[in-house]
Amino acid sequence: MSRRPGNPARRFGDGGSVGGLFSSKSRTSPLLPSGLVALGLFCVIYYISSGSGSGGTKSFMRLVEGDYACTLEVQRAIPSLKKAYGDSMHKVLHVGPDTCSVVSMLLKEEETEAWGIEPYDIEDADGKCKGLVRKGVVRVADIKFPLPYRAKSFSLVIVSDALDYLSPRYLNKTLPDLARVSSDGIVLFAGYPGQQKSKGAEQSKFGRPAKMRSSSWWKRYFVQTSLEENEAVSKKFEQAAGKNSFKPSCQMFHLNSYQ
């Protein structure tokens, strides 16, 4: 599966006149509105690129465009996941697009090691992300095939914005493989049916349009693949999320690993 570089270009409206700064007899310089717009744009880009430290402007543009909605949810969910999973968050694998942002955030947590699988190309990734790839912390791999890890290599596997694009043929191989490399559980973030996540170009970007499946579909699928939901952890997460005022906009499933 390949991903074309995104186009972060945006159009900005004319600055217009600046009222109240000059008397009615004076004429505003045509350079003033353009200068104010340029200054404002510079401030916005600087704030975005320096604020997160892991996604920068590209992550912001993805948020604006509606891409990777569930991967952004993972980042918001990390505090609640830590409270729900406790020691099981010490060795985490994230699988999904923009995994560099998730891994960078996890590595900031105390006593947490993190790795990532990026299912798509990283041609448009920033230098920090490519550095994680060079170090082997993040790998670019097609998740339709077995992951390059031994059984139970990670305590917890988190997957987002990846399984929605797999046909049942490949999903039947990929999800059990995620269970294989985890020891304490899997956290699955999936889109809701009817959630507009692709805009025409998504089919060529991800190889196929996203297939948003219902909660009942996923639950039947878990039974067919002998995966059980972890109800105890689900309750802990709901309690922690409530205290953190976190309300997921994606479906979340907490699964037990294969024993």
Domain CATH for 192: 3.40.50.150
* Structure confidence at residue 180 (pLDDT): 95
* Structure confidence at residue 108 (pLDDT): 94
Asked if the structure places residue 247 within a domain, the reply is yes
Asked if the structure places residue 93 within a domain, the reply is yes
Residues 36 and 92 in one domain: no
Burial class (CB in 10 A: 0-12, 13-18, 19+), 84: buried
Residues 56 and 173 in one domain: no
Residues 110 and 57 in one domain: no
Instruction: Assess whether pLDDT exceeds 70 at residue 11.
Output: no
Asked if the structure places residue 145 within a domain, the reply is yes
Task: Please give the residue that has the higher pLDDT: either 5 or 91.
Answer: 91
Instruction: Assess whether pLDDT exceeds 90 at residue 37.
Output: no
Asked if the structure places residue 231 within a domain, the reply is yes
Instruction: Assess whether pLDDT exceeds 70 at residue 65.
Output: no
Percentage of residues in the chain with pLDDT exceeding 70? Answer: 68
* Structure confidence at residue 8 (pLDDT): 36
Rounded to the nearest integer, the mean pLDDT of the chain is 78
Tens-place pLDDT, residues 140-151 = 999 999 998 999
| Average pLDDT for 23-29 | 44
Give the predicted TM-score (pTM) of the model.
0.73
Asked if the structure places residue 20 within a domain, the reply is no
Asked if the structure places residue 8 within a domain, the reply is no
Task: Please give the residue that has the higher pLDDT: either 57 or 165.
Answer: 165
Lowest-pLDDT range of 47-51, 173-177, 219-223, 233-237: 47-51
Residues 44 and 83 in one domain: no
Instruction: Assess whether pLDDT exceeds 60 at residue 224.
Output: yes
Residues 248 and 148 in one domain: yes
Residues 139 and 197 in one domain: yes
Residues 128 and 205 in one domain: yes
Asked if the structure places residue 1 within a domain, the reply is no
Residues 117 and 147 in one domain: yes
User: Residue 259 — pLDDT band, cuts 50, 70, 90?
Assistant: confident
Residues 210 and 127 in one domain: yes
Residues 149 and 226 in one domain: yes
Instruction: Assess whether pLDDT exceeds 90 at residue 122.
Output: no
Residue 121 pairs in a beta bridge with none
Strands 138-140 and 156-160, bridge-based pairing: unpaired
Residues 117 and 220 in one domain: yes
Amino acid at 31: L
Domain that holds residue 50: 31-63
User: Residue 159 — pLDDT band, cuts 50, 70, 90?
Assistant: very high
Number of domains in the chain: 2
Q: Using CA of residue 70, residue 76, residue 81, residue 82, what is the dihedral sign?
A: positive
Lowest-pLDDT range of 12-16, 66-70, 87-91: 12-16
Instruction: Assess whether pLDDT exceeds 90 at residue 75.
Output: yes
